[in-house]
Structure 1
Amino acid sequence: MWIGTDTCALGPYRADLVETYWRWEQDPALLVGYGRQAPESLEARTEGMAHQLRGENIRFTVYDLTSGNPVPSGVATLLPDHSVRTAEYVIMLAPEARGRGLGTEATRLALDYAFHITNLRMVWLKVLAPNAAGVRAYQKAGFRTAGTLREAGYWLGQVCDEIVMDALATDRTGPSVIVPLLPE
């Protein structure tokens, strides 16, 4: 694990978990939440994994620590634009990990990493407007609504808005798990 709390940690993105990641990505609730209509084959996902491991994106495996043992429970990704020190944020949680605050905690940790290790100044995301649980989790983690892309997505076969949210390093409040680890 790279960084974490008592209940959640972020660790390396792992090639040996490709089938687990793929299983999570095929969950109908996740497909709806991402606005993606088509499932992907395991073969295509495995091919994509090699590219992802070589890419410049910052990918974490999210671990649930509530049982005492680290259990892989999701993936958090920062898609940086180094020229302007910003990144898009994407998170995916296993069906069994949802609704317990793990997404909020993983998002807080990813923001902590983005602002204190990667030295980004802003992280942004898009979330489908009907995804009320996602919007709440992002707000709890420190994101604010920045705007709306009208009729930009689909939710359960219906056109919907996408909400653009952002988090600024200068607005970051609350405890950091990284700052106490740094030398003074």
Structure 2
Amino acid sequence: MPDSPVVTLRARSDSDADVLFSLAADLTTWEERGPDFPAPLTRAAYDARLAAESETAGPSIRFVIEVDGAPVGSAGLFNVDHLARHAEVGIALVADARGRGIGTTALSQIVDFAFVRCNLRRVHLEVISSNVGAVRAYEKAGFVVEGRLREHAWVRGHYEDIILMGLLRS
């Protein structure tokens, strides 16, 4: 059996820009990242967005997912509520890294970071119901289905449900 890949979370560096841009510009998965219309993303627009993020360091924590020394995705905690002690978690992987357990490992690491280092009590996420690979990875990491927003997302010509999932520190 081959060795399992070494998955780590680390700070973003300038050398990660190409991989992170490829994730942000991937029109095949745009529905999984937000409510905006699908549109090509230029490198200049992406670079401007990164610069704006670093200027407004809002309530989020972002990591690069690295496998055996190479960047393969990103993970983050968003909309951190310091009073109620919860945050939304998100993860994105390049196509070659999907289906290999990398997402499950990275998700477990960011959840551990959220609970142990940030003292959060709860993390939650939203996922399109047809993204069964992601749902499976979230369940492996301990997330449970907490609800469903019926026909809430417009995905490639039809409406799909959004599944709400959460995980409590306890």
* TM interval, short-chain normalised: 0.7 to 0.9
Tell me the matched-pair count. 162
Matching residue of 1:182: none
Once the two structures are superposed, the pairs formed by residues 6-155 of structure 1 within 5 Å of their partners are 7-34=6-33, 37-54=38-55, 55-56=57-58, 57-65=60-68, 70-79=69-78, 80-155=80-155
1-structure distance, mates of 2:15, 2:84? 33
How many angstroms does 1:82 deviate by?
Answer: 1.3
- Per the alignment, in what secondary structure is the counterpart of residue 96 of structure 1? helix
- Per the alignment, in what secondary structure is the counterpart of residue 162 of structure 1? strand
- Per the alignment, in what secondary structure is the counterpart of residue 153 of structure 2? strand
Q: Which runs of 5+ in 2 are unaligned?
A: none
Q: 1:15 to 1:84 in 2, by over 3 A?
A: farther
Q: In the alignment, residue 132 of structure 1 is paired with which amino acid?
A: V
How many angstroms does 1:6 deviate by?
Answer: 6.0
How many angstroms does 1:31 deviate by?
Answer: 1.8
Q: Is the 8 A contact 2:10 2:64 kept in 1?
A: yes
Q: Is the 8 A contact 2:5 2:67 kept in 1?
A: no
How many angstroms does 1:15 deviate by?
Answer: 3.7
How many angstroms does 1:158 deviate by?
Answer: 1.0
Residue by residue over 1:119-146, the C-alpha shift from the partner in whole angstroms, topping out at 9 and shown as x without a partner, is 1000000000111111001100111101
Residue by residue over 1:17-54, the C-alpha shift from the partner in whole angstroms, topping out at 9 and shown as x without a partner, is 22321112222332243365223221111111122234
Q: Which runs of 5+ in 1 are unaligned?
A: 171-184
Moved more, 112-121 or 18-27: 18-27
Residue by residue over 1:68-119, the C-alpha shift from the partner in whole angstroms, topping out at 9 and shown as x without a partner, is xx11010001011212110011111011111111011100000000000001
- Per the alignment, in what secondary structure is the counterpart of residue 41 of structure 2? coil
Moved more, 28-37 or 47-56: 28-37
Q: Is the 8 A contact 1:111 1:123 kept in 2?
A: yes
- Per the alignment, in what secondary structure is the counterpart of residue 159 of structure 1? strand
1-structure distance, mates of 2:33, 2:62? 17
2-structure distance, mates of 1:96, 1:130? 19
2-structure distance, mates of 1:160, 1:19? 31
Q: TM-score, normalised by structure 2?
A: 0.88
How many angstroms does 1:16 deviate by?
Answer: 3.7
Q: In the alignment, residue 75 of structure 1 is paired with which amino acid?
A: S
- Per the alignment, in what secondary structure is the counterpart of residue 31 of structure 1? helix
